[in-house]
Amino acid sequence: MNKWWKSAIVYQIYPFSFKDSNGDGKGDLKGIIQKLPYLSKLGINVIWLNPIFESPFIDNGYDISDYYKINPILGTMNDFTMLLNKAHSLGIKIILDLVVNHTSNEHKWFKESCKKEKNKYTNFYIWKKGKSDGSPPNNWGSTFGGSAWEYVPSRDMYYLHLFAKEQPDLNWENPVLRNSIYSMMKYWLDIGIDGFRMDVISLISKKQDFPDAPVDYPYNRSYYFGSSNGPRVHEFIREMNEKVLSKYNIMTVGETPNTTSEQALLYVGENRKELNMVFQFDHMHLDYGINGKYSTTHYKLNELKQVFTEWEECMNKDGWNSLYWSNHDQPRAVTRFGNDSTYRFESAKMLGTLLHMMKGTPFIYQGEEIGMKNPDYKSIKEYKDVEAISSYKSLKLSGMKETKALNILHLKARDNARSPMQWDKSINSGFSTSKPWLKLCDDYKDVNVKNEFNEEKSVLNHYIKLIKLRKKYPVVVFGDYEIINKDDSSVYAYIRKYKNEELIVICSLVSNNVLFRPDVGKLSTKPKLLLSNYSDSEKFLSSKVELKPYEAMIYYINN
Ligand code: TEU
In this structure, are residues 361 and 321 in contact, taking their beta carbons and an 8 Å threshold?
yes
Task: Give the distance, in angstroms, between the CA of residue 101 and the centroid of all CA atoms in the same chain.
Answer: 17
pLDDT along the chain (559 residues), means of 10: 94 98 98 98 98 98 98 98 98 98 99 98 98 97 97 98 98 98 98 98 98 95 98 98 98 98 97 98 96 93 98 96 98 98 98 98 98 97 97 95 97 98 98 98 98 97 98 98 97 97 97 95 83 96 95 95
pLDDT value, residue 517: 95
**Ligand 1 mutation target, pool 200, 278, 336, 385, most atoms within 8 A of CB:** 200
Query: Could you tell me the sign of the dihedral formed by the alpha carbons of 250, 256, 260, 263, in that order?
Result: negative
Residue 330 to residues 137, 335, 412, 470, 481, Cα–Cα distance (Å):
32, 11, 7, 25, 26
Half-sphere exposure of 538 (CA within 13 A, CB side): 18
Ligand 1 pocket check for 256: Cβ under 6 Å: no
Residue 87 to residues 29, 35, 96, 493, Cα–Cα distance (Å):
12, 10, 14, 36
N-terminal to C-terminal alpha carbon distance within the chain: 32
How confident is the model over 212-242, as pLDDT tens digits? Answer: 999 999 999 999 999 999 999 999 999 999 9
Give the span between the Cα atoms of 371 and 449, in whole angstroms.
10
In this structure, are residues 557 and 527 in contact, taking their beta carbons and an 8 Å threshold?
yes
Indicate which atom in ligand 1 lies nearest the CA of residue 257: 4
CA of 133 to the centre of ligand 1 (A): 32
CA of 255 to the centre of ligand 1 (A): 9
Percent of the chain clearing pLDDT 90 (strictly above): 98
How confident is the model over 469-510, as pLDDT tens digits? Answer: 999 999 999 999 999 999 999 999 999 999 999 999 999 999
Ligand 1 pocket check for 62: Cβ under 6 Å: yes
Q: At what angle do helices 261-268 and 301-317 cross, to 10 degrees?
A: 30
Q: Which long-range contacts (CB under 8 A, 24 or more apart) does 454-462 make?
A: 457/345, 457/535, 458/345, 458/370, 459/345, 459/348, 459/349, 459/352, 459/369, 459/370, 459/371, 460/42, 460/369, 460/370, 462/349, 462/352, 462/353, 462/531, 462/533
pLDDT value, residue 559: 84
Indicate which atom in ligand 1 lies nearest the CA of residue 99: 23
Q: Taking every pair of C-alpha atoms in the chain, what is the biggest distance, in angstroms? A: 77
Whose CA is closest to atom 23 on ligand 1? 62
In this structure, are residues 343 and 511 in contact, taking their beta carbons and an 8 Å threshold?
yes
pLDDT value, residue 80: 99
3-state DSSP call for residue 185? helix
**Ligand 1 mutation target, pool 199, 283, 329, most atoms within 8 A of CB:** 329
Whose CA is closest to atom 14 on ligand 1? 199
User: In terms of C-beta density within 10 A (0-12 exposed, 13-18 middle, 19 or more buried), how is residue 558 classed?
Assistant: exposed
Q: Which long-range contacts (CB under 8 A, 24 or more apart) does 18-22 make?
A: 18/366, 18/420, 18/421, 18/431, 19/421, 19/423, 19/431, 20/431, 20/432, 20/433, 20/434, 20/436
Amino acid at 181: I
Write the DSSP symbol of residue 116. S
Residue 172 to residues 53, 100, 265, Cα–Cα distance (Å):
21, 9, 22
The angle at the Cα of 362, spanning 310 to 539, to the nearest 5 degrees, equals: 90
Q: Please tell me the pTM assigned to this model.
A: 0.98
Write the DSSP symbol of residue 369. G
CA of 54 to the centre of ligand 1 (A): 18
Residue 362 to residues 1, 208, 358, 435, 484, Cα–Cα distance (Å):
21, 37, 8, 33, 21
pLDDT value, residue 522: 67
Whose CA is closest to atom 18 on ligand 1? 62
In this structure, are residues 390 and 419 in contact, taking their beta carbons and an 8 Å threshold?
no
Closest by CA to 202, choosing from 239, 271, 148, 257, is: 257
Whose CA is closest to atom 10 on ligand 1? 329
**Ligand 1 mutation target, pool 140, 199, 220, most atoms within 8 A of CB:** 199
